[in-house]
Chains A and B, each alone.
Chain A
Amino acid sequence: MRALVWIVEDTWEATVAEAAAYLPADAEVTLLHVAAGDVESLAEGARQGLLGRRRHPGPAEPPQPRAISDEAAEALLTDARARLGREARTERRRGRVGHEVAAAADGMDLLILARDGDHSRLGPRSLGPAARFAVDHAPCRVLLIWADAPPGLDTIPPPPRHH
Chain B
Amino acid sequence: MPEALALVLSLLALAGTLAAAVARSRWPIEAIAAVAAAAALVAIGALTPSAARQAIGDLGPTVGFLAALLVLAEGCRRQGLFDAMGGLMAAGARGRPRRLLALVFVVAATVTAVLSLDATVVLLTPIVLATAARLRTDPRPHVYACSHLANSASLLLPVSNLTNLLAFQASGLSFTRFAGLMALPTAGAVAVEWVVLTRFFAVDLGRPRRARAGAEERPPLPRFALAVVALTLAGFAASSLLGVAPAWVAAAGAAAITIPALVRRTTTARTLALAAEPSFLVFVLGLGVVVRAASDNGLASAARAVLPGGVALPELLAVVAVSAILANLVNNLPATLILVPVAAPSGAAAVLAVLIGVNVGPNLTYVGSLATLLWRRVLHVEDHQVELGEFVRLGALTVPAGLVVATVLLWFSAQGLT
Is B418 positioned at the interface, with any CB of A under 8 Å from its CB?
Answer: no
B362 and A49 contacting across the interface, CB-CB below 8 Å: yes
Contact (Cβ within 8 A) A9 B391:
no
Which residues of A have CB within 8 Å of B122?
47, 50, 54, 61
B258 CB → nearest A CB, Å: 13
The 8 Å CB contact of B127, one of A17, A62, A79, A119, is A62
> CB of A87 within 8 A of chain B?
no
Q: Whole-angstrom distance from the CB of A93 to the nearest CB of chain B?
A: 14
Q: Scoring A residues 81 to 92 as 1 if CB is less than 8 Å from chain B, else 0, what string do you get?
A: 000000000000
Instruction: Judge whether A51 and B150 touch: CB under 8 Å.
Output: no
How distant is the Cα of A34 from the Cα of B140 in the complex, in angstroms? 14
Does B297 sit at the interface, judged by CB under 8 A?
Answer: no
| Cα-based distance from A119 to B215 in the complex (angstroms) | 29
- Asked if B105 is at the interface (CB within 8 A of a chain A CB), the reply is no
Given contacts A43-B147, A51-B331, A54-B122, contact A59 B271 (CB under 8 A): yes
Interface string of B385-408 (1 = CB under 8 A from A): 111001100000000000000000
A71, B130: Cα distance in complex, Å: 9
Query: Which of B30, B126, B210, B376 touches A43 (beta carbons < 8 Å)?
Result: B126
Secondary structure type dominating chain B contacts: helix
Q: Does any Cβ of B come within 8 Å of A37's Cβ?
A: yes
Residue of B nearest to A48 (CB): B367
The interface on chain A, measured as residues whose beta carbon lies within 8 A of the other chain's beta carbons, has a size of 53
Interface residues of B in 137-186 (CB under 8 A from A): 137-140, 143-144, 146-147, 150
When the two chains form their complex, are residues B391 and A42 in contact, meaning their CB atoms are under 8 A apart? Answer: yes
User: Is there contact, CB below 8 Å, between A128 and B203?
Assistant: yes
Nearest residue (CB) in A for B391 is: A42
Chain B positions within 8 Å of A58 at CB level: 271, 274-275
| Contact of B207 (CB < 8 Å), options: A39, A45, A59, A116 | A116
Would A36 and B372 count as touching, CB distance under 8 A? no
A 3-24 binary contact with B (CB < 8 Å = 1; else 0): 0000001111110010000000
Which residues of chain B are near A36, meaning CB under 8 Å? 140
B284–A52 contact, CB under 8 A?
yes
Find B129's partner among A10, A51, A68 (CB 8 Å cutoff).
A68
- Within the assembled complex, what's the spacing in Å between the Cα atoms of A38 and B126? 14
Q: Does A147 touch B at the CB level, under 8 Å?
A: yes
Q: B277 an interface residue at 8 Å Cβ cutoff?
A: yes
Residues of B contacting A62 in the complex (Cβ-Cβ under 8 angstroms) = 77, 82, 123, 126-127
What distance in Å separates the Cβ of B8 from its nearest Cβ neighbour in chain A? 23
Report the 6 A-B pairs with minimum CB-CB distance, sorted nearest first. A49-B368, A72-B133, A148-B208, A14-B210, A49-B367, A52-B21
Q: Could you name 16 residue pairs across A and B whose Cβ atoms are closer than 8 Å?
A: A38-B390, A40-B129, A43-B125, A49-B366, A50-B121, A52-B279, A58-B275, A60-B74, A60-B77, A61-B123, A68-B126, A69-B133, A72-B130, A76-B214, A79-B214, A146-B208
Apart from A12-B211, A65-B126, list 20 A-B contacts with CB within 8 A. Answer: A9-B132, A10-B97, A10-B138, A39-B129, A43-B143, A46-B147, A46-B366, A48-B372, A49-B368, A53-B118, A59-B271, A60-B74, A62-B77, A68-B133, A69-B133, A69-B139, A72-B134, A119-B206, A147-B207, A148-B208
B: which residues have CB within 8 A of A?
Answer: 18, 21-22, 24-26, 30-31, 74, 77-78, 82, 97, 117-118, 121-123, 125-127, 129-130, 132-134, 136-140, 143-144, 146-147, 150, 202-203, 206-212, 214-215, 267, 271, 274-275, 277, 279-280, 283-284, 287, 331-333, 362, 366-369, 372, 376, 384-387, 390-391
